[in-house]
Amino acid sequence: MSTTSERHAVEASPVYPAGSRVNERGHLEVGGCDVVDVVAEFGTPAYIYAEEDIRSRARAYLDAFRSRTDDYEVLYASKAAPITAIYKLCAEEGLSVDVASGGELHMALRAGFDPARIYLHGNNKTEAELRYAAESGVGHVIVDSFGEIQRLDAMLDRPQEVLIRVTPGVLPTTHSYVQTGGLDSKFGFGLEDGLAARAIAEVRASRNLRLVGLHAHIGSQIFELEPYVSAIDALAGLTGPDWECRILNVGGGLGIAYTADDAPPSIGDYVEALLRNAPDDVTVLCEPGRALVGNAGVTLYRVGTIKRIRGVRTYVAVDGGMSDNLRPMLYGARYEAEIADRFGGGALCTIAGMHCESGDVLVRDVELNDPRVGDVLVVPATGAYSHAMANNYNAVRRPPVVFCRNGDARVVVRRETYDDLTTRDV
């Protein structure tokens, strides 16, 4: 493939961060930074984010709502990438935040989020997490069980605004592991079995909890829009004249492009669907996570060995794998891959990880341009759930996170050291 064709393929790709290109040296650039130079400075594996890509997507969500309604709030679903620098960026852009644990709450507070703009989620919040939220002045708690309603009410000495999580019986087309809106779910209160109505009555009868709205999250990596309309309709059906519903929160879940074949809806169409049947005088919330950060990130690796099995396949092994990206092993997630300084495909290969598991395969059957030992390999669309799920399997150190903007690369999370692996030993 010619350099001109390579440039066009990257610049037109929905998979790579906005603004990415193949430069005059034939190298991939992200955020104005040559990734080969980034590797020379920071090593591999490494998570690379185009900072401006995240900022522009945050603004796109706000603009999409702002042009259609005055009653909205956009929350960063921080479980996608719980990175202090991303929390800070989202706060600067005017987003609120969704946290799903005491740890995510701690990071959001440390990044400077106003506690009033924090929403605490979770299907099994501990008493310590609820107390931490209460003492921090968190604006809203999304209650998820009857036991939680009772525990939270009992520990408070002041009013606390809450939403009730409803499982509305809506099942979008996505992987079963990330469908969360059906009756058979560990999350929330079912609509079909009457538990949601019972939860509303229990919160309204409580001493300190103030019911202000309803929440539903139907799943992740969703390309259909009608299920969101159905979810809004289901939530609206639970409102009534006996209590004032000020907020309808329909979660996140909008899909992204992991490969060139993926065609997710636009942010504008997504927001239009959320507002289509929303009742008057109700604030509509959404919680993008993957859709904010997924395509903003790429992971860089170094090729270590190449194993050619005649008539079977060619394995290209890199210095990472299931410790830095668990998604392919967890639910068969598909990715693209390229040699960072030789785009264009050619040889059919399988990208293997370095861990002692046969299933440690990052990408199956991808075309690479003459892969060689020492090459820098790039896997795009890894900005969501890679760092979040990173682990120390085989005592491998977790990679750094590097922000790139206007040609400047800076580390926002350092690479772990071997000493880090033993710091908790007693």
Active site (catalytic) residues: 356
H/E element, 309: strand 297-309
Please choose, from the candidates 346, 394, 397, the residue with its C-alpha nearest in 3D space to the C-alpha of residue 371. Answer: 346
370 three-state secondary structure: coil
* Identity at 270, one-letter amino acid code: Y
Q: How far apart are the first and last CA of the chain?
A: 56
* C-alpha 170: how far from chain center: 21
Spatial contact of 68 and 271, defined as CB atoms under 8 Å apart: yes
* C-alpha 8: how far from chain center: 27
Task: Tell me the C-alpha distance between 275 and 64, whole Å.
Answer: 11
Task: Tell me the C-alpha distance between 129 and 103, whole Å.
Answer: 9
Q: Which two tokens stand for residue 217?
A: 């999250």
- Strand 72-77 and strand 46-50: pairing? unpaired
* Identity at 317, one-letter amino acid code: A
* C-alpha 216: how far from chain center: 17
- Positive or negative: CA dihedral 87, 92, 93, 94: positive
